[in-house]
Structures are given as C-alpha cells and as structure tokens.
Amino acid sequence: MATKSIGRKPKMSPWDKSQLIWGWIFIAPTMLGLLILNFYPIVDTAIQSFYRTMPFNRGNVFVGFENYINMIADAEVWQSLINTFKYAIIEVPFSIAIALVLAVFLNRKIRFRSGYRTIFFLPMIAAPAAVAMVWRWLYNSQFSLINNAFGLHVDWISDPNIAWISVGIIGVWSILGYNMVLFLSGLQEIPGDYYEAADIDGANGFVQFFHITLPLLSRTIYFVLVTRVIGALQLFDLIYMIMDGTNPALPKTQSIVFLFYKYSFQNNQKGYGAAIVILLLAVTMIITLLQNLFQKKWVNQD
C-alpha cells in the first residue's frame, strides 16, 4: 500500500541487491567450472577437428575440412557407427523388456523382494573392467563355463558374426537392474486401486499389464528408452576390455567412442579423433530431436 513508484527506474531494494550478489557468488564456482571444463572444451574440440596433429609434437596444422572429408570416406568410421547401433539394438530393447517384466513381478507382494532387487542391481556396482574380464573368461571358447556347461563350440567373442551379440548380452546383463529400479519407482506411483478394480472386473495379469501398467508407465519407459539409447551410443569399456587388437571380430564390434579413443590417445591423431567425436555429438543430437518429435505420439499425456 505504501509503495509508490516515483522514479521511472525503480531502485533495487537491499533485498534484491543481496539476492543478486549471493546468487552470483553461489553459482560462480559451478559456472566457472562448467566454462573451463565443458564449454571451452566443446569449442576447442570443434576447432581441433579442423587441424591435423603432427607427429613428434610439431604442433597442429590447419587443414580445413580434411578430417571430415576423410571421415566420410572412411569405411571404418561408418562400420563403427553401424556396430554401435547394432549394440544398441541388442542392449536397449532387451534390457528394457526384461527389466519391465521383473519390475512388474517385484511390484507385487512377494517374498525376498529386496533380496531380488539387490541381486539384480549388483552389476551396477561392479567395475566395468572387472565385469568385462569375467565375461571374457566366461566366453572363452576352450576352457570356460558357457561352452563347457552347454557342450558348445562357439567362438563367442572372436567370431565376427557373433561377437556383437555377445557384447550386447553383457550390456543387457549390466544395465538390467538399473532399468528395473527406474521402472519400480514408476510403478509405485500407479495407484493400487486401479488394479483392485481390475481384479474385481476379473481382468487377469496380462490384461492388467497392457491396459493399466503399460499406459501409465509410458512416461517412465520413454525416459528410460531415451537415456539408454544415448548411453548405448557411448559404448567403450566393454570393447576396450574384450576386443584385443588382434581379435578378428574387432572391425565388426568396435564402437564409435572406441575409435575416438584410438585415434585421440593411441594413434595421437587428435584432430581426427575430434572429428569423430563431433560426429557422435551430431548423431546424439539427431536422436534426441527424433525422440522429442515421437514423444507426443508415444507417451500417454495426463
């Protein structure tokens, strides 16, 4: 009531001033850190992709679009992109579908619930290097468990036609429990009376799953799908640990990030590595865009 705006430019109240000062003090460390650690590197990576790294630390030479032109002509890059997508095609749908079923089971009143959950989540806590090592050993064609237990003679990780599936299986195994936990928290938000009403109507478990669970969980499923696809595109650890340089299946399994690592830090061709990682960025952006477009069709809006 007492406020009269006299001047054209209202003077900042001491409270607003205090908010301005403290606000900037509080965000300063984070923003400064993001600037140095993330925003400058984005620009720097983009610039590097126009340079060729000379051997023996003789500096960089500007080469214009040469790295990009070479990359477009490079069959290895396209193959690695295909490999990455093939990995995603195994990892994403299977890890989501199995996790969804498990989450629905664990959302019931069932004994040992938290025990099962703890076990399924276990691979998330293990170092990827250790996970890859033990799977590589499990897949060993001569001496190890899988072939000997089932009497098979499969070259799980050295047959180029099979290795991508074997790597995908490790991916599913690794991420299953994580997806399941996300689904479980989504399921817990669905009111129990929906199921009670369906029970009274005599709807069985399958009908309930498709008519109640799936539509009401579509938001969570979509979210998990998006993050899983983007995560799968960044496949590196498994390939690095499982595929030796001499493995005949390497060309058919190496991922785009693996190739980025190889050129940037093993072959010391950072310019080319930078171009590859820009390609990864572009692919990620396109997928994010597509997923945003599809979201409206797919997700049940309340």
Partner 1 sequence: MGYEAKKRLTQAVIHLILIIVSFVMVVPFLWMALTAFKTVGESTSVSPFVIFPSKWITDNFVTVWKNMDFFVLYMNTLLLIFFRVVAACLTATMAGYAFARLKFKGRDLMFSLVLFQMMIPSQIFIIPQYLMISRMGMTNTIFALVFPGLVTAFGTFLLKTAYQGLPNSLEEAARIDGCSIFQTFLRIMMPLTRSSMVALGIFTAVFAYKDMMWPLVVNSSASKMPLSAALATMQGQYTSNYPQLMAAALIACVPMIVIYLIFQKQFIEGIATSGGKL
CA–CA dist 219, 222 (Å, integer): 5
| Contact call for residue 292 and partner 1 (CB under 8 A) | no
| Contact call for residue 116 and partner 1 (CB under 8 A) | yes
Per-residue x/- marks for partner 1, 74-93, CB under 8 A? --------------------
Q: Minimal distance in Å, beta carbon 178 to partner 1? A: 7
Q: Which one of residues 52, 86, 117, 219 is an interface residue with partner 1 (CB under 8 A)?
A: 117
CA–CA dist 279, 250 (Å, integer): 21
Q: Minimal distance in Å, beta carbon 89 to partner 1? A: 18
CA–CA dist 46, 221 (Å, integer): 34
Candidate segments 83-91, 101-109, 159-167, 294-302, binder of partner 1 by CB under 8 A: 101-109
Candidate segments 1-9, 78-86, 131-139, 155-163, binder of partner 1 by CB under 8 A: 131-139
CA–CA dist 96, 179 (Å, integer): 6
| Contact call for residue 108 and partner 1 (CB under 8 A) | yes
Q: How many CB atoms lie within 10 A of CB 112?
A: 10
Per-residue x/- marks for partner 1, 266-285, CB under 8 A? ----x--xx--xx-xx--xx
CA–CA dist 113, 188 (Å, integer): 14
How big is the site for partner 1, counted in residues (CB under 8 A)? Answer: 100
DSSP 60: E
Q: Which one of residues 10, 22, 69, 267 is an interface residue with partner 1 (CB under 8 A)?
A: 22
| Contact call for residue 118 and partner 1 (CB under 8 A) | yes
| Contact call for residue 45 and partner 1 (CB under 8 A) | yes
Q: Do 40 and 32 contact (CB within 8 A), yes or no?
A: no
| Contact call for residue 18 and partner 1 (CB under 8 A) | yes
138-167: which residues touch partner 1 (CB under 8 A)? 138, 140, 142-145, 148
Q: Minimal distance in Å, beta carbon 281 to partner 1? A: 6
Minimum CB distance to partner 1 smaller for 161 or for 226:
226
Q: Minimal distance in Å, beta carbon 36 to partner 1? A: 8
For residue 85, how many C-alpha atoms fall within 13 Å in the half-sphere facing its CB? 10
Beta strand 60-62 with 51-53: parallel, antiparallel or unpaired?
antiparallel
DSSP 159: -
| Contact call for residue 137 and partner 1 (CB under 8 A) | yes
| Contact call for residue 233 and partner 1 (CB under 8 A) | yes
CA–CA dist 55, 68 (Å, integer): 20
Residue 243 identity = M
Q: Do 51 and 267 contact (CB within 8 A), yes or no?
A: no
| Contact call for residue 260 and partner 1 (CB under 8 A) | yes
| Contact call for residue 9 and partner 1 (CB under 8 A) | no
Q: Do 12 and 20 contact (CB within 8 A), yes or no?
A: yes
| Contact call for residue 200 and partner 1 (CB under 8 A) | no
| Contact call for residue 223 and partner 1 (CB under 8 A) | yes
Q: Minimal distance in Å, beta carbon 74 to partner 1? A: 18
How big is the CA angle at 228 (ends 127 and 128), to the nearest 5 degrees?
A: 10
For residue 138, how many C-alpha atoms fall within 13 Å in the half-sphere facing its CB? 12
